[in-house]
């Protein structure tokens, strides 16, 4: 099993206390920019073994009586149907998912903000949709030379052109479906607007990564750069913090670039700034809760390699670029790692070479690697899953946990009635077949009992997975990489 490298309970306690302290510092109203994922921060759980994906929302739930949620979405992301890679849904649909999820935790969602709005027709249609659902929508506009032209930004022609977001709670949490959505700009605009309306308000930032109080080149910080390679985010030493305190801390370029705006704004509103650096703005306690640095380093190195293969696959699909690949390659060099450090890759490629067909491999919790090959009945991933479950259940390889009498009718249904040309069972179909077998077969039932143990396992496929397989394996918590090639030479792949 992965070693625990992060104390989640300590984190919940420290983080909530620190946020309460920041709220008290400003008194009446605090805009808290929430970076990363609130409900499902799987990146954090991968690079910080022990971190629970819902930790931040659990912590926020303790303050829910004071909390109001504002969700920012970049109007351009609506127009180009930007997709969350981990969930496979567009940002505009994810906003609806987030609203439902927040409400499920008893948190109040006040409004949605369309950032960098320039009249996009799709954004206008989306606003009408939200308003028909009873959700308040506001528009914020692009500002020329942002963030360098501070006098223009802090003026009626800058933040003054934005809609004023009406809020009713003391802690305003500004979040978004993904990075680059304009969360900080929303917070800064509101500080300006609140001042115009005679209300003093504060600002703080809750960004899990980069972790400010560990080294710049630590693998967990490099993994963050790999995760945001498409945004051109760069981790850097905070020059303002170094100048003010003589201490090196880690931040990233966008916060450093916008800091003069924030400081000038506080000087305008309060006469002086409570923050001397971007690091001062943060309330992140993650770095204080790492309990096994070696475990975190190893997990982060694997994440960087996964991001590299994901970049290769996205380029093959036509949605990636050489620039992203090259950036992640550079990060791998900084972390002193290569694809050879991912043991499942070699095992899968070796199986493919032996069988002459696509193959897959998975590393089980005890480190044992199990492979799967393509056969007339099963795809490589389906075979790999069955083989892994048999190993976990302590069953010999020759034991058949699903009889052909169950598989063949499913194949007949797929080909004869559902229009499929490939009769092999996908992973979701093989799990259904295994479930059916478990009703009458003790060995199949033993295999079903092992499914939870696949969560967190690493796997590699020698071909790009189908959407069905990728989605099913993702739901099982399996961490996937693929070779950047398709199983066939068709132009269309589903």
pLDDT in tens, 217-241: 999 999 999 998 988 788 999 999 9
* Residue 220 CB partners (closer than 8 Å, separation 6+): 47, 48, 209, 211, 214, 296, 297, 300
Do 383 and 276 reside in the same domain of the chain?
no
pLDDT in tens, 310-356: 999 999 999 889 999 999 999 999 999 999 999 999 999 999 999 99
pLDDT of 86 over the 80 cut: no
pLDDT of 1 over the 60 cut: no
328 and 232 Cβ atoms separated by less than 8 Å: no
Do 152 and 42 reside in the same domain of the chain?
yes
pLDDT of 491 over the 70 cut: no
In-domain check, residue 374: yes
Do 77 and 178 reside in the same domain of the chain?
yes
In-domain check, residue 328: no
pLDDT in tens, 195-211: 899 888 899 999 899 99
Other Cβ atoms within 10 Å of 244 Cβ, number = 14
Q: Provide the CATH number for the domain around residue 125.
A: 3.10.630.10
Do 360 and 286 reside in the same domain of the chain?
no
**Cβ-count burial 110-142 (b if 16+ within 10 Å, e if not):** bbbbbbbbeebeebeebbeebeeeebebbbbbe
Give the residue numbers spanning the domain of 379. 356-482
Q: Is the dihedral of CA 43, 46, 47, 50 positive or negative?
A: positive
- Asked whether the whole model's pTM tops 0.85, one would answer yes
In-domain check, residue 490: no
Do 367 and 256 reside in the same domain of the chain?
no
In-domain check, residue 77: yes
Do 66 and 183 reside in the same domain of the chain?
yes
In-domain check, residue 340: no
Q: Across the strands, what pairs with 235?
A: 252
Do 286 and 381 reside in the same domain of the chain?
no
**Cα dihedral 175→181→184→187 (10° resolution):** -60
Strands 30-34, 235-237: pairing is unpaired
CA distance linking residue 402 with residue 336, whole number of Å? 44
In-domain check, residue 180: yes
pLDDT at 488: 74
Do 284 and 366 reside in the same domain of the chain?
no
CA distance linking residue 69 with residue 107, whole number of Å? 7
| Domain closes at, from 243, 271, 290 | 290
| Domain closes at, from 268, 290, 312 | 290
Do 280 and 363 reside in the same domain of the chain?
no
In-domain check, residue 450: yes
pLDDT in tens, 19-65: 888 888 887 789 999 987 788 889 999 999 999 999 999 888 888 89
pLDDT at 493: 54
Computed over every residue of the chain, the mean pLDDT equals: 92
| Rounded mean pLDDT, 57-83 | 92
| Rounded mean pLDDT, 437-447 | 94
Q: How many domains does the chain have?
A: 2
pLDDT at 23: 83
């Amino acid at each position: 099993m992965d070693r625990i490298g992060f104390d989640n309970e300590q984190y919940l306690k420290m983080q909530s206390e620190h946020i309460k302290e920041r709220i008290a510092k400003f008194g009446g109203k605090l805009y808290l920019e929430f970076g990363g994922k609130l409900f499902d921060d799987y990146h954090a759980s991968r690079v910080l073994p022990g971190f629970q994906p819902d930790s931040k929302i659990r912590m926020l739930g303790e303050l829910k009586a004071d909390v109001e949620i504002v969700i920012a979405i970049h109007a351009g992301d609506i127009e180009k149907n930007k997709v969350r890679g981990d969930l496979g849904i567009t940002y505009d649909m994810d906003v609806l998912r987030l609203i439902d999820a927040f409400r499920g935790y008893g948190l109040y969602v006040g409004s949605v903000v369309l950032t960098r709005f320039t009249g996009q027709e799709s954004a206008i249609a989306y606003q009408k949709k939200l308003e028909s659902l009873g959700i308040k929508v506001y528009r914020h506009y692009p500002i020329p030379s942002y963030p360098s032209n501070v006098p223009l930004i802090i003026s009626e022609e800058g933040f003054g052109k934005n809609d004023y977001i009406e809020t009713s709670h003391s802690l305003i949490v500004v979040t978004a479906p993904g990075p680059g959505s304009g969360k900080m700009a929303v917070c800064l605009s509101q500080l300006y607007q609140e001042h115009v309306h005679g209300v003093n308000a504060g600002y703080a930032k809750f960004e899990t990564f980069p972790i400010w109080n560990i080294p710049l080149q630590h693998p967990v910080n490099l993994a963050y750069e790999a995760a945001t390679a498409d945004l051109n985010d760069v981790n850097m030493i905070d020059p303002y913090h170094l100048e003010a305190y003589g201490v090196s801390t880690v931040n990233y370029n966008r916060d450093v670039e916008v800091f003069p705006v924030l400081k000038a704004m506080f000087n305008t509103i309060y006469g002086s700034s409570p923050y001397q650096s971007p690091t001062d703005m943060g309330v992140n306690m993650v770095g204080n809760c790492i309990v096994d640095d070696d475990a975190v380093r190893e997990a982060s190195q694997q994440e960087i390699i996964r991001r590299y293969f994901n970049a290769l696959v996205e380029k093959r699909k036509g949605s990636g670029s050489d620039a992203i690949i090259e950036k992640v390659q550079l990060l791998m060099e900084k972390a002193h790692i290569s694809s050879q450090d991912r043991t499942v890759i070699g095992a899968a490629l070796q199986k493919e070479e032996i069988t002459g067909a696509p193959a897959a491999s998975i590393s089980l919790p005890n480190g044992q690697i199990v492979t799967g090959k393509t056969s007339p009945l099963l795809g490589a991933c389906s075979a790999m899953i069955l083989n892994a479950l048999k190993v976990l259940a302590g069953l010999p390889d020759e034991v058949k946990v699903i009889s052909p009498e169950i598989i063949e009718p499913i194949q007949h249904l797929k080909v004869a009635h559902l229009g499929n040309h490939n009769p092999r069972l996908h992973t979701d179909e093989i799990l259904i077949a295994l479930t059916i077998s478990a009703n009458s077969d003790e060995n199949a039932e033993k295999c079903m009992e092992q499914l939870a143990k696949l969560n967190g396992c690493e796997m590699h496929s020698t071909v790009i997975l189908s959407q069905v397989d990728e989605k099913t394996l993702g739901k099982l918590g399996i961490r996937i990489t693929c070779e950047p090639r398709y199983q066939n030479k068709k132009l269309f792949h589903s």
